[in-house]
Chain A
Amino acid sequence: MWSIIKRFWHVMRTPSVHYSLGFLTAGGFIAGIIFWGGFNTAMEVANTETFCISCHEMRDNVFAELKSTIHYTNRSGVRATCPDCHVPHEWTNKVARKMAASKEVFGMLVGSINTREKFLEKRLVLAQHEWARFKANDSLECRNCHSEESMDFTRQSKRAAEAHERFLVPGEKTCIDCHKGIAHELPDMKAVAAAQQ
């Protein structure tokens, strides 16, 4: 093993015999562009609703539930698709989430939620992962569209305005603390403390 590493190191250190410096530089540059473009394109493809619901686990469970909610159909026709809420929009965080998602790919391969029963059994755990993520990033994915600064409390109902003034503005709570189960059905909440529902 050590000798292989040593040989590789030796080859890498030796100047090229057959190819010019210009060729190697330009070649490396072009290969870099292709790699980077390909990487981002692949990531964008994996960041679409079509990709998400290509697995029946998503299509038959969570996506089916989303369809009747306001984030899917509403008066103004703006739709939030899966990645809008479940994948950070900023590049670094997006890549970090994508790496964490490799565990979900593994789960898909071994079929950890490939039946409705398995999904229902695991749904509380899955939901708690998302709630924890939203809590940790201060509901970033909500705030990508619903900005606190742009919220006109006078245009909200009295109940909503009061709650937002009391809890959202002082930063005491974040969106997900109150707005759970708005795009998907809630799991069995008996195990969740009353104050956190």
Chain B
Amino acid sequence: MKYLSISIVAIALLAGTAFAEDKIATLRDAAITETLSPPAMAPAVNTHLKQVRNYPEQPPLIPHKIDGYQVDLNANKCLTCHSRAAVGESQAPMISITHFMDREGQFLASVSPRRFFCNQCHVTQAEARPLIENTFVDIDTLLKQ
């Protein structure tokens, strides 16, 4: 009897572990104890063509590679082309005027520190298969429905 209860507990424990592993498997696709080799990195979209925003407030996507771009306390590689002074030469879009505002809405002479780190909002895109389905519809499509 004692042995039976022990084995029942053991089976229950095993089943529990198996269940937990199943849950993890949705995105990770393997047990947590396994070390997986990550999928190959997809190259960034490098078309240099503006992409349509999904909603008006969306930070514009970066349509070019940004490999090795330094954005830190010392330098901001993005601003070498996108700063107000540089766009004449680079013909890149100037950073939005909202980036000059501090949190009280006051306009500063140059980029506000809270808007300095471009990659917090602006990202590159890759031609990669989505890991999960995305059901987002933009407002125009929604209004028609």
A residues with CB within 8 A of B: 68-70, 157-159, 162-163, 178, 181-182, 185-189, 194-195, 197
Contacting pair B74 A185 (CB below 8 A) = yes
CB contact under 8 A between A186 and B64, given known A158-B48, A194-B83, A194-B85: no
Q: Which residues of B contact A189 (CB under 8 A)?
A: 74-76
Residue contacts A-B, CB under 8 angstroms, 14 given: A68-B68, A158-B48, A159-B48, A162-B91, A178-B80, A181-B70, A181-B77, A182-B68, A185-B70, A194-B86, A195-B85, A197-B79, A197-B80, A197-B86
CA distance A69 to B77 in the complex (A): 15
Q: Which residues in A have their C-beta under 8 angstroms from that of B79? A: 197
A188 to chain B, nearest CB (A): 5
Q: How far is the CA of A178 from the CA of B72 in the complex (A)?
A: 18
| Residues A197 and B75 in contact in the complex (CB < 8 Å), given A157-B46, A181-B70, A186-B70 | yes
Are A70's CB and B68's CB within 8 A? yes
Closest A residue to B110 by beta carbon equals A194
- Secondary structure dominating the interface of B: loop
Shortest B100–chain A CB gap in Å is: 15
Which residues from chain B contact A69 at a C-beta distance below 8 Å?
68
In the bound assembly, the distance between CA atoms of A159 and B79 in angstroms comes to: 16
**Pairs of residues from A and B, 3 with the lowest C-beta to C-beta distance, nearest first:** A186-B75, A189-B75, A194-B85
A-chain residues with CB within 8 Å of residue B90 when the two chains form the complex: 163
Known A-B contacts: A186-B77, A194-B86, A195-B85. Give 10 more (CB < 8 A). Answer: A157-B46, A157-B65, A158-B47, A158-B48, A159-B64, A182-B68, A186-B75, A188-B75, A195-B86, A197-B75
Cβ of A111 to closest chain B Cβ, rounded Å: 24
Number of B residues with CB within 8 Å of any CB on chain A: 22
Residues of B within 8 A of A (CB): 46-48, 64-65, 67-68, 70, 72-77, 79-80, 83, 85-86, 89-91
Instruction: Check A188–B74 contact: CB distance below 8 A.
Output: yes
What is the bound-complex CA distance between A194 and B83, given in angstroms? 9
- A residues in contact with B48, CB < 8 Å: 157-159
Taking the closest CB of chain B, its distance from the CB of A11, in whole angstroms, is 61
Cα–Cα distance between A181 and B47 once the two chains are bound (Å): 24
- When distances are taken between beta carbons in the complex, the residues of chain B under 8 Å from A197 are 75, 79-80, 86
Give the distance in Å from the alpha carbon of A186 to the alpha carbon of B65 in the complex: 19
Collect the chain B residues with CB atoms within 8 Å of residue A194's CB. 83, 85-86
Whole-angstrom distance from the CB of A197 to the nearest CB of chain B?
5
Write out the residue numbers on chain B whose beta carbons fall within 8 Å of the beta carbon of A186. Answer: 70, 74-75, 77
Instruction: Evaluate contact between A157 and B77: CB separation under 8 angstroms.
Output: no
Given contacts A157-B48, A194-B85, A195-B86, contact A188 B73 (CB under 8 A): yes
Q: Is the CB of A187 within 8 A of B83?
A: no
| Bound CA–CA A159/B80 (angstroms) | 14
State which of A68, A178, A187 has its C-beta within 8 Å of the C-beta of B74: A187
Closest to A194 in B: B85
Residues of the A chain whose Cβ atoms lie less than 8 Å from the Cβ of B76:
189
Query: Which residues of chain B have C-beta atoms less than 8 A from A162's C-beta?
Result: 91
